[in-house]
Structure 1
Amino acid sequence: MDALVLDDVTKRFGERTAVDALSFTVKPGEIFGFLGGNGAGKTTSLRMVLDILRPTSGRIAVLGCPPGRENAADLGFMPEERGLYRGMSAIDTVTYFGRLKGMTTAAARARGHDLLERFGLAGSAKMQIDKLSKGMAQKVQLAATLVNSPKLLLLDEPFSGLDPVNQGLLEDEILGAARGGATVIFSTHVMQHAERLCDRLLLLSQGRKVFEGTQPEARGRLPARLEIVSRDTPMRCPGVDRAEEVATDLDGWRTYDVTLGDGIDPADVLQCLTEQGITLRRFDQHRVSLHEVFLHLVGTHSADTQGQPS
């Protein structure tokens, strides 16, 4: 049974189409990245999965069932806009969310204490949310999301507003949930998190899917690039589409930014250069980042992403 299926799902708000004929499948145990710039349709899609919004057309299956209260006990959801009751204590908050997911009070409280201790908040369990720092409150939100040990974990821009330490904590929790058998779907416009975490990913632009697949498949959408330092041009080799000289040192060594044709193996270019007796000081393959893939597939006009290529 697939963890999540969207089949030709469209959502319109009046004349505006927020999600346009979107189809994808998430397998059990995957960490699935839902990527796109602001306004791409990520949050609207997640809200339909949670039955907060109903699609205009199309079909959604969550753990084999239509979206609804029936599978709430198996879901965990962290919204981008954190939703905690400021007058409640940390432990009461986590317990309350556990009760909403069908847990007994005793089980939810015990699990809540375990999570707060794991997140370094054992000494703050009885403090009111409005007395906690922002980072501490976000950890409480994460504990509330995980309290029912969900089979399907949905995180909407989960890294938004987190400092680097808490970003690392959240990444560890995502990996730990997946190792425990959960399926994790998270939306983000920060490509570095997706690079570190995702088994597969989907790129959205203006409500439409522009890519779905693995990271190597995504990087394969861009031609391979090399950095070659030599005194001779590498253009003599078949498969080299472009060799732009970007620097020359005092000893005559020239640095080239080299773009290869589709399907050309860099190892074949290296062999060609060697056979021609061309002396190389450096031959490095450029690792394409997801940020570069996003810009290539979506275009700069929609690329409201954070971070630089890695």
Structure 2
Amino acid sequence: MLSIHSIVKQYAGHRALDDVSLEVESGKIFGLLGPNGAGKTSLIRIINQITAPDSGEVYFKGERLNQSHIERIGYLPEERGLYKKMEIGEQMIYLARLKGLTRAEASKRLRFWFEKLGMETWWKKKIEELSKGMQQKAQFVATVLHEPDLIILDEPFSGFDPVNADLIKNEILELNRKGATILFSTHRMESVEELCDSIALIHKSHKILDGRVKHIRNSYKAETYLVEYNGEKLFFDGSQPFRIISETNNEDDIHVIKIKLNGASANDILHYLLPKTRINMLQEVIPTMNEIFIEKVKHIA
């Protein structure tokens, strides 16, 4: 869907992007991650043709990015940009017509979305009359109303309460199931775990990590397991074929130990512990994307 090759973007005294390349697969959800000031928004603005790169190329569905592609892209910016004093219904239709829809088709689709998201009474309201979360909802509808092939969402959950954040998350998944490719920038690592097929991490203008979420998490495994057991507390004298990293227990005589394999296997853990206690759970520790994010950024000066 989207191929980004060796993008460089320089502002006065600051290089926002330095030789950044990405591949966003068609029909997938791609997370663009990075601390504030990393270069994420600069890249998104280039994809939307708001600014141009100093060097490098962007391809959309195999064609070099050009003005004709604007109608096939939906963009929800982090800085929301609806007209505060214009009626929401007319504003949505106006924005949809800029993306190539007729007034009749835009009105039909808008009524569908207003009903779906509980916005039926908003048609004559003005943006300034809405809460921040309600404004976000309206902006989301404006982003997807023309049914774009690529939907770019910059911090889409910002300002939402948990109920509406979950509502928009489900709508993103539904749009993806219907064929839309989603690119979103976020600081919410739990969103990455729930939604993304692949990610790229940008830090200080460079891409420092990318790939499928599952593969990345598995590549950061450290042969560590959690074991939960019942009964009397076990004592380890160092003869066991693994190393105990930590131990916790509660009042119900349920104990949790964190184990480093040290060349052993999960079967070795079971073989050693089963004659001694009742095991409730054996689980490999796989780092979260948030832990990986912090680890990668922390070690880059």
TM-score, with length taken from structure 2 = 0.88
Counterpart of 2:206 in structure 1: which amino acid?
A: R
Cα separation, 1, equivalents of 2:251 and 2:117:
55
Map of 1:246 onto structure 2: 247
5+ residue gaps, structure 2:
none
CA contact (8 A) 2:240 2:272 kept: yes
Out of 168, 171, 174, the residue aligned to residue 172 of structure 2 is: 174
Q: Give the alignment's Cα RMSD to 1 decimal.
A: 2.6
Whole-angstrom CA distance in 1 between matches of 2:264 and 2:145: 48
Q: Give the unaligned 5+ runs of structure 1.
A: 303-310
Matches within 5 A, 1:273-284: 273=272, 277-279=275-277, 281=279, 283-284=281-282
Contact 1:157 1:186 in 2 (8 A): yes
Taking a change above 3 Å as real, the CA distance of residues 52 and 284 of structure 1, as seen in their structure-2 partners, is same
Runs of 4+ in 1 over 3 A off after TM superposition: 232-238, 245-256, 277-284
TM-score between both structures, scaled by the size of structure 1: 0.86
Give how far 1:301 is off: 7.9
User: Which amino acid counterpart does residue 258 of structure 2 have in structure 1?
Assistant: D
The residue aligned with 2:213 is 215
Tell me the number of residue pairs that the alignment of Structure 1 and Structure 2 aligns. 295
State how far apart, in whole Å, the 2-side matches of 1:89 and 1:179 are: 32
Q: Secondary structure at the match of 1:153?
A: strand
Look up the equivalent residue of 2:81 and give its one-letter code: G
Query: Within 5 A, what are the aligned runs for 1:6-155?
Result: 6-155=4-153
Residue 182 (structure 1) shift = 0.6
Q: Deviations over 1:12-47 (max 9, x none)?
A: 213322112111111110011111111111111111
Moved more, 221-230 or 135-144: 221-230
1:69-125 Cα offsets, whole Å, 9 max, x none, are 211111100000110001111111111110110111111122112111111111121
Relative to structure 1, the CA distance from residue 168 to residue 273 in structure 2 (aligned partners, 3 Å threshold; closer, same or farther) is: same
1:277-292 alignment runs, 5 A limit: 277-279=275-277, 281=279, 283-285=281-283, 286-292=285-291
Residue pair 2:221, 2:286 contacting (<8 A) in 1 also: no
Cα distance change on mapping 1:287 and 1:96 into 2, 3 Å: same
Find the counterpart in structure 1 of residue 260 from structure 2.
Answer: 259
Partner Cα distance (1:162, 1:102) in 2: 29
Residue-by-residue CA offset, 1:165-194 (whole Å, 9 max, x unaligned) = 111111011101111111001000110011
Identity of matched residues, %: 34
Contact 1:232 1:278 in 2 (8 A): no
